[in-house]
A and B are shown apart, each in its own frame.
Chain A
């Protein structure tokens, strides 16, 4: 019980537990009301969350709150509101924001680590632009560096299909304003569909599943649902607290507090043994790798066979029930248990909890998002909620954990494989809306290109300029190192540190980190927070937004009337431009202003100017965004990823006929999927030993090996690992290393590669062709956060 009362997280002790119980029935009714009706309620009805406030303060040693000169509003990589403590032009710590709806003052105990570099002009931090001269990166001026990028861009644009020769890859550090600005530069300025980023490796399956089921992206639930729920399911949960497979630390604390208080929710956990979540669970399902869909189908089978579903909700608000029944018919609990390698009684118990819950919250995490049949399995979680009518009311919601901090911003603004404002490329009206907004012609050249294909085009030489901001694909994307070394590929890297990727660049642009620039971040339950500038960036480093604006100005992008295409000049005006783009879309930001965010803390989209609150839960009343004029996609075949057109949307897509026949366009779909055996499951990678670290106990990320040639020991890799690790190392070492990534599968709907760490043999090699630029410690290079 020790870890329940003193939540150990990576050895760091967090604050005392604050157990609490669910709000009363009256409060629950009040919470279900739309914002403006809630304002009219008598004040004695508690409108806030009953989760006690606990303000965590993380100050550097020797500093007290009295020493702090100013507190600057900011947000953590996981979406927790905080204030940065500033003293003498330096960040000396932080304090959780008590009144914020997401964290109620709490912080991840390791939060301080992520902000170490803010404003620090220390070795390792990039402070001047670099350009490659005779194979070496040398310091230069901003003018010289930007002119190089512009000259190369113009040269490529001048050729046939020049728009298709420039691609962008983004990562976690970009704010929403920066993502939107980049999206406008890409889609409208250059006209390229090649915009994607790290979201493809982490958040793509969640987004794809939400689109398939509900019509558009956007997590339907709210963190506040944890207060109300009587059952909670963590799907694919690994170690809690910030790791890629886990659930955000603060969310996990909220769950634990509910579990310790009166009337605790039942807890189902799907994930490996030995995690805090697994120990805490009432029902823990340690399913075999690659069998999530079989498990979900088994659970759905039990719900349907026992009549534990809301017939009225299914009949009135969903489409595709018959097809779903046909599919899950083949997965009685016994068969599912055999496939998944778990006792049948556990599946039955889990189904009983899901079937009996009055208020069910699901949190889907990396164990589902980053696994075999990721989109299909995630859709089945949506199906559980749709069958039970568990959406859109207090305590009933779906949340998604994981992904880079800016994932939502990138996905919503069109910088990550979609059109801005959750629009549908296949819908001519949506494209016309954007063309009108930007006052440009938008030729329909094709849908957004996914990250793996962008790098593939670069490898083939059809992309000639790849601009990587805030990401380190050499470390995250198999083969990237090999591709970025191509002589004919011009690589621009914009980052805080000289990352492995930056070492291969032709131009390196020093960027400002969080705390050194202003902007907004949208969190896991659609809460928008502002993150202000606390200190100046070191040296000549600039906010990413300023770099993009500078590029747009130098490229002289114009609209149809000859006015500048990018008419904004700072974070606030960029946000206003984004508001106009989001207007009328499911992610409407028009009521969320900088003033409001600074005054009142986080606000959830959609929020229009007339509403006094954001929208806590999507899809209240069972109305979804699946109508052909609203939806972000007309749907995919879950096996192949084949895209349905507008016409099949009305007819051939399973369930779509029902949607039309009933005269409704706003039913949710119940996408059915069969379990597909994966190679992974047949010859499993040994996940436990891979993550444990074989090299002197070092963590995979901390292991640096110099110019090494790697042989894959694990049979499932096919040379991809060679590219992934090529040139990605800084020390010299013999032996076996872990942490190298290999592609083990492909999710055709989310267009997401499934990556697994693999054991690789390291053989030192003489030649190193990467960039030479000396820095003090190679470890500093990868410590970029929030990234």
Chain B
């Protein structure tokens, strides 16, 4: 009996940490951006909380761990950029990272219901909502700055 669920839990755990680190990196790279003040730090903290909340489940299912499949994980963020376009592109990266987390929560929720793990269902409901808010925030901010960044000469 081998289940792949643990791999997805591991992927999500890692992605949440990556998102947290990326949020901090983007904040550092754009210190004068008013909209990032405090919010990046707060979201990074939430990502860390989410990852911590996953840890018992990673352990629970790792007993049934199958062999590590190939290319289970691929990097989506390789450092923050500078400048106006750089900010938009950085937020774009964060959005992709957050999307990876979001779809992972969705799939894990399905699996959790499938195996009847109420605790995991509960954790996903809570953490998935936070990730949805992260996506919404990134979308809000990107849509605010995109017209000025893409159309207006500087």
Binding site for B on A (CB under 8 A): 159-165, 193, 445-447, 449-450, 452-453, 456-457, 459-462, 479, 637, 639-644, 648, 652, 676, 718, 743, 745-746, 748, 751, 753
Contact = CB atoms under 8 A, between A and B. Distances in A.
B136 A642 contact: yes
A592 B41 CA distance: 48
A641 B40 CA distance: 12
B137 A746 contact: no
Contact of A161 (B133, B137, B152): B152
19 contacts: A161-B148, A161-B152, A163-B152, A446-B146, A449-B144, A450-B34, A453-B34, A456-B34, A460-B84, A462-B148, A637-B136, A640-B134, A640-B137, A641-B140, A642-B137, A652-B132, A745-B37, A745-B38, A746-B39
B144 A446 contact: yes
A450 B34 CA distance: 10
A748 B132 CA distance: 17
A639 B136 CA distance: 12
B127 to A, nearest CB: 14
Nearest 3 CB-CB pairings of A with B: A161-B152, A164-B152, A642-B137
B59 interface: no
Given A445-B147, A643-B136, A643-B140, A165 B38 contact: no
Interface in B110-154: 132-134, 136-137, 139-140, 143-148, 151-154
B70 interface: no
Contacts of B69: none
A644 B137 CA distance: 9
A637 B133 contact: yes
Interface string B1-42: 000000000000000000000000000000111110111001
A165 B143 contact: no
A751 B39 CA distance: 11
Contacts of B140: 641-643
Main secondary structure of the interface of A (DSSP, over half): loop
A282 to B, nearest CB: 36
Contacts of B152: 160-165, 462
B43 interface: yes
A479 B143 CA distance: 25
Nearest to A448: B144
Given A446-B146, A718-B31, A753-B37, 14 more contacts: A160-B153, A161-B148, A446-B144, A449-B148, A452-B34, A453-B145, A456-B32, A462-B153, A479-B32, A637-B137, A642-B134, A748-B39, A748-B137, A751-B34
Interface in B83-128: 83-84
A453 B35 contact: yes
Contacts of A642: 133-134, 136-137, 139-140
A297 B2 CA distance: 47
A462 B154 contact: yes
B89 to A, nearest CB: 15
Contacts of B31: 718
B151 A753 contact: no
Given A161-B153, A743-B37, A640 B43 contact: yes
A446 B136 contact: no
Contacts of A753: 34, 37
Contacts of B154: 460-462
A549 B43 CA distance: 46
Contacts of A453: 34-35, 144-145
Interface of B: 31-35, 37-39, 42-43, 83-84, 132-134, 136-137, 139-140, 143-148, 151-154
A644 B33 contact: no
Contact of A446 (B42, B133, B148): B148
Contacts of B35: 452-453, 641, 746, 748, 751
A456 B147 CA distance: 15
A676 B42 contact: yes
B133 A640 contact: yes
A162 B32 CA distance: 24
Contact of B33 (A160, A163, A450, A456): A456
Main secondary structure of the interface of B (DSSP, over half): helix
A446 B39 contact: no
A746 B32 CA distance: 12
Given A160-B153, A640-B39, A746 B34 contact: yes
Scoring B43, B83, B145 by chain A CB atoms within 10 A of each residue's CB, the highest score goes to B145
Contacts of B38: 745-746, 748
Contacts of B39: 640-641, 746, 748
A457 B151 CA distance: 13
Scoring A159, A453, A648 by chain B CB atoms within 10 A of each residue's CB, the highest score goes to A453
A644 B154 CA distance: 31
Nearest to B83: A460
B153 A446 contact: no
Contacts of B34: 450, 452-453, 456, 743, 746, 751, 753
Nearest to B84: A460
Contacts of B139: 642
Contacts of A462: 84, 148, 152-154
A745 B39 CA distance: 10
A461 B149 CA distance: 11
Nearest to A462: B154
A447 B148 CA distance: 11
Nearest to A194: B148
Given A446-B147, A637-B137, A640-B42, A746 B84 contact: no
A655 to B, nearest CB: 14
A761 to B, nearest CB: 22
Scoring A446, A479, A642, A751 by chain B CB atoms within 10 A of each residue's CB, the highest score goes to A642
Scoring B37, B84, B143 by chain A CB atoms within 10 A of each residue's CB, the highest score goes to B37
Contacts of B37: 743, 745-746, 753
Contacts of A460: 83-84, 154
Nearest to B140: A643
B135 to A, nearest CB: 8
A571 to B, nearest CB: 34
Nearest to B46: A639
B148 to A, nearest CB: 5
Contacts of A446: 143-144, 146-148
A196 to B, nearest CB: 12
A408 B42 CA distance: 32
A640 B41 CA distance: 11
Nearest to B130: A639
B136 A164 contact: no
Contacts of B146: 446
A676 B134 CA distance: 17
A648 B140 CA distance: 13
Given A456-B33, A457-B148, A644 B153 contact: no
A453 B33 CA distance: 8
Contacts of B133: 637, 639-640, 642
A164 B42 contact: no
A746 B31 CA distance: 13
Scoring B38, B42, B43, B133 by chain A CB atoms within 10 A of each residue's CB, the highest score goes to B38
Nearest to A745: B38
A159 B153 contact: yes
B19 to A, nearest CB: 14
B126 to A, nearest CB: 11
Nearest to B36: A746
Scoring A462, A637, A640, A743 by chain B CB atoms within 10 A of each residue's CB, the highest score goes to A640
Contacts of B134: 640, 642
A743 B35 CA distance: 12
Nearest to A679: B38
A508 B144 CA distance: 31
Contacts of B145: 453
A445 B143 CA distance: 9
Contacts of A643: 136, 140
A720 to B, nearest CB: 9
Contacts of A652: 132
Contacts of B144: 446-447, 449, 453
Contacts of A748: 35, 38-39, 137
Contacts of A479: 32
